[in-house]
Structure 1
Amino acid sequence: MDLLDMIRDAGVIGAGGAGFPTHAKLTSKAEYILLNGAECEPLLRVDQQLMVQCADEIIMGLAAAGRYIEARKAIIGIKGKHKEVIAHMRARIAAQGLESYLEVMELRDIYPAGDEQVLVHELTRRIVPETSIPLKVGCVVINAETALNVFNAMSGKPVTETYITVAGDIPQRLTVKVPVGLPIRELFNQCGIDNLEDYAVIDGGPMMGSILKTLDGHVTKKSKGYVLLKKDHFLMRKKSVNLDQARVISKTACEQCRMCTDLCPRYLLGHNLQPHKVMRALNYNLEDVKEQQIALLCCECNACELFSCPANLHPRSINRYFKGKLAEQGIKYQPTTMEFQPREARDYRLIPTKRLIARIGLTEFDKPAPLTNVNFQPHYLTIALRQHIGAPAIPVVAAGEQVQAGQMIGKIPDNSLGASVHASLAGTVREITDNAIVIKVG
């Protein structure tokens, strides 16, 4: 069995939040393999701690993936402020005799340093074309936990656990290893909160994450963090604005100052994304949405909406609105060039992370979330059949069947993009729905 088969069978997906099946990402050859250790979302602490605790495994997983795609160089991008992490990773690379293949490069402390296209430019000076992927410029990008899961797959260990930071306005901020399928309420019980009624929860980072509509959900393989804040916090109120409300607010108040465009990370890379023009189209009730194709270039990093706009409007939401309109009419963006240069002012318009954290009201919560050993003992697990980009997994077990930890319970559909899923703890299959497999533990 070659490495790709091992990764496929282990159900490895992008652990940074996107969930793209890793075996599909490694089917093409590339000049560089890049490890995303930026972890640019405020308050999240997984990757920086994993690169200390599991440095050897991450390095070996990255090197194996890089050699499989015949990359001539593997580069690990870590923010320069994490000096201890950088020193430790360099020491472990040297200890394994991999200095000629692996290199650690320091990233600036900006948002969004972990955006794939920003990362590619910061580490290689190349620019991914509009609507394209890093492979177009000879790069494949994986994150630190994904590299760890690649290493585990090499020894036959499937993805049954994920690392999660729980942060925010809580007594105990922590990072923990969690069995996939765990009820998220059991995770929050570790944070010293007796009553969750006053809180809202962001699934993911505070910039790109969305507010959970219910706290009855379950951890998936791509869960990365949860941020708990009081419901009246600025960030929660801003994220609670729905699309219709965002349209009304933005239509009545946009002053066309261009700040959303001038600080847009993709615009600064030379792309044609100009949110102020999309906002203008909304103001003028333009019926021909074909002219708003530039909205499709938005990666929804939320810099425009949560940092740039001086009027506290919703450019990201308006981009999303026009994306929906364009999709309804089957209109796709058509690039006019494949060669890009960064804007001359880019270096002066990058968003410092500390200023961003202050802007969204999180400075007092920007504290360590130490990696903590917690022995979770849930009564039930609910393992989603679609925890990834692509088709949902097909159950290969039946209700009433006994399963062991690590056993495959859902496989990739034939001729489809997808990822297999596995039981994270031993137990009995209690129910199989269209979306999940429920296991009674023990």
Structure 2
Amino acid sequence: MDLLNMIRDAGVIGAGGAGFPTHAKLTSKAEYLLLNGAECEPLLRVDQQLLDRFAAEIIQGLEAARQYLKARKALIGIKSKHGEVIQRLRYQILAQGLEANLEVKELRDIYPAGDEQVLVYELTGRIVPEASIPLKVGCVVINAETALNVFHALAGKAVTETYITVAGDVPRRLTLKVPVGVPIRDVLRQCGLASFEDYAVIDGGPMMGALLDNLDGHVTKKSKGYILLKKEHFLIRRKSLKLEQARVISKTACEQCRMCTDLCPRYLLGHNLQPHKMMQALSYNLDNHEEQQTAQLCCECNACEMFSCPANLHPKSVNIFYKRKLAAEGIRYQPPSREMSARSARDYRLIPSKRLVAKIGLTDFDRPAPLTEADFQPEYLEIALRQHIGAAAVPVVAVGEQVQAGQMIGKIPDNSLGAAVHASLAGTVREIKENSIVIKVGSYV
């Protein structure tokens, strides 16, 4: 079996949060394979620790993917502040005799260094065109944990676990290896809180993550972090606003100072994304569809909303408003044919991570979250059939069937983009829902 089929059968997806099936990424040819180890979201500590703990395995997985892509070189992007991790990676590259094919490149400590298009520019100097993907400039990007999962796939091991940081205003900040399908509450309890009544939980990083409506969900292969903060915290109040509330507030108070545009990471790469113009269109009820289409270039990194705007308005939310409005009307941005170049002021307008952390009120919680062993013994697992971009997996088990850890329980639909899903712990299939499979675990059977 070749690497692509091993990765496909193992259910490997983008572990950085997007969840794009990795086997589909590797079907093309590219000049560069980039490993995204930037982990630019504040408080998250997964990638930096995996690169430290599993440097040899990640490099082997990365090299296998590079060879399959026939890429000229694989570049590992990691922030220069992680000096010891960088030394370990470089040692492993030399030890495995891969110095001609793999290189570690150090990144500045900025937000959002982990954005795919920012990463491509920082590592290669190439600019991904508007409304396009890194492959357009000869690059494929994978996450550090994804490379680790490629390594495991080579040994026939499916993706049944994910690494999650639990951080914020909690007694214990830690990073855990968690079986997919475990109740989120079981993960949160590891942080040392007896009750979550006074807390809100952000699913993912504090910048791009969304508030959990309730804590009754289950871990997926894309889960990367849970940030717990008191409900009255600035960040929670900001994220609690509904889109319509954010739209009304933004319509009444925008000063047209341009800061949202001047510090926008995509604008600084030369893209025609100008959030202040969307704010202007909203304030004056302008109806220029051609100009509004540029809102579709927004990657929703939240830099404009959480850092740039001096009036604490909601440019990202306004971009989302216009994205949805145009999508409902079937209008899609058509990028002009032009040479892309970064704005001349880019180097002076990058957002330092420490300043961002301070602006969003997380300085007191910006501490280590060490990789810690935890023994999860849930009564039930609930494995989502769609943990990825593409079609939901099709169940290949029946109610009452005994399953083993690592067994495929959902396959990719024929002729579709998707990813297989597997049981993370042994047990009995109790229920097959429209979007998930419920397994009663082990000794509880």
TM, length-normalised to structure 1? 0.99
In the alignment, residue 20 of structure 1 is paired with which amino acid?
Answer: F
Deviation at 1:289, TM superposition (A): 3.5
1:10 alignment counterpart: 10
Q: How does 1:227-376 map to 2 (within 5 A)?
A: 227-376=227-376
1:169 alignment counterpart: 169
What are the superposed Cα offsets for residues 73-109 of structure 1, whole Å, 9 maximum, x if unpaired? 0100000000011011111111111111110000000
Equivalent residue of 1:257, what SS? coil
1:396 alignment counterpart: 396
1:155 alignment counterpart: 155
What are the superposed Cα offsets for residues 244-273 of structure 1, whole Å, 9 maximum, x if unpaired? 100110000001000000000000000000
Q: How does 1:177-196 map to 2 (within 5 A)?
A: 177-196=177-196
Contact 1:167–1:226 at 8 Å: present in 2 too?
Answer: yes
Deviation at 1:288, TM superposition (A): 4.5
Contact 1:290–1:331 at 8 Å: present in 2 too?
Answer: no
Equivalent residue of 2:162, what SS? strand
Equivalent residue of 1:439, what SS? strand
What are the superposed Cα offsets for residues 120-150 of structure 1, whole Å, 9 maximum, x if unpaired? 0000000000000000000000010000000
Equivalent residue of 2:36, what SS? strand
Within the alignment, does 1:99 sit opposite 2:99 as a pair?
yes
Equivalent residue of 1:307, what SS? helix
Deviation at 1:286, TM superposition (A): 2.2
What are the superposed Cα offsets for residues 344-393 of structure 1, whole Å, 9 maximum, x if unpaired? 00000000000000000000000000000111111100000000000000
Deviation at 1:338, TM superposition (A): 4.6
TM, length-normalised to structure 2? 0.99
For 1:300 and 1:291, locate their aligned partners in 2 and report how far apart those are by CA, in whole Å.
Answer: 18
1:38 alignment counterpart: 38
Deviation at 1:52, TM superposition (A): 1.1
For 1:190 and 1:360, locate their aligned partners in 2 and report how far apart those are by CA, in whole Å.
Answer: 25
Cα RMSD after superposing both structures: 0.6
Contact 1:43–1:167 at 8 Å: present in 2 too?
Answer: yes
Equivalent residue of 1:38, what SS? coil
What are the superposed Cα offsets for residues 182-221 of structure 1, whole Å, 9 maximum, x if unpaired? 0010011111101100000000000000000010000000
1:211 alignment counterpart: 211
Equivalent residue of 1:382, what SS? strand
Equivalent residue of 1:92, what SS? helix
1:426 alignment counterpart: 426
Deviation at 1:314, TM superposition (A): 0.3
For 1:288 and 1:64, locate their aligned partners in 2 and report how far apart those are by CA, in whole Å.
Answer: 49
Q: Percent identity, aligned pairs only?
A: 78
Aligned length: 442
2:144 alignment counterpart: 144
In the alignment, residue 403 of structure 1 is paired with which amino acid?
Answer: V
For 2:255 and 2:89, locate their aligned partners in 1 and report how far apart those are by CA, in whole Å.
Answer: 47
Deviation at 1:290, TM superposition (A): 4.2
What are the superposed Cα offsets for residues 4-41 of structure 1, whole Å, 9 maximum, x if unpaired? 00000000000000000000001000000000000000
Contact 1:163–1:178 at 8 Å: present in 2 too?
Answer: yes
For 2:121 and 2:310, locate their aligned partners in 1 and report how far apart those are by CA, in whole Å.
Answer: 28
- Give the unaligned 5+ runs of structure 1: none
In the alignment, residue 60 of structure 2 is paired with which amino acid?
Answer: M
For 2:422 and 2:131, locate their aligned partners in 1 and report how far apart those are by CA, in whole Å.
Answer: 33
What are the superposed Cα offsets for residues 53-79 of structure 1, whole Å, 9 maximum, x if unpaired? 111110000000011010010100000
For 2:339 and 2:99, locate their aligned partners in 1 and report how far apart those are by CA, in whole Å.
Answer: 32
In the alignment, residue 426 of structure 1 is paired with which amino acid?
Answer: A
Contact 1:289–1:322 at 8 Å: present in 2 too?
Answer: no
Within the alignment, does 1:88 sit opposite 2:88 as a pair?
yes
For 1:339 and 1:370, locate their aligned partners in 2 and report how far apart those are by CA, in whole Å.
Answer: 45
Q: How does 1:126-145 map to 2 (within 5 A)?
A: 126-145=126-145
In the alignment, residue 119 of structure 1 is paired with which amino acid?
Answer: L
For 1:338 and 1:129, locate their aligned partners in 2 and report how far apart those are by CA, in whole Å.
Answer: 9
Equivalent residue of 1:281, what SS? helix
Moved over 2 A (4+): 286-291
In the alignment, residue 56 of structure 1 is paired with which amino acid?
Answer: A
Equivalent residue of 1:200, what SS? strand
What are the superposed Cα offsets for residues 286-340 of structure 1, whole Å, 9 maximum, x if unpaired? 2444430000000000000000000000000000000000100111101112520
Equivalent residue of 1:113, what SS? coil
Equivalent residue of 2:410, what SS? strand
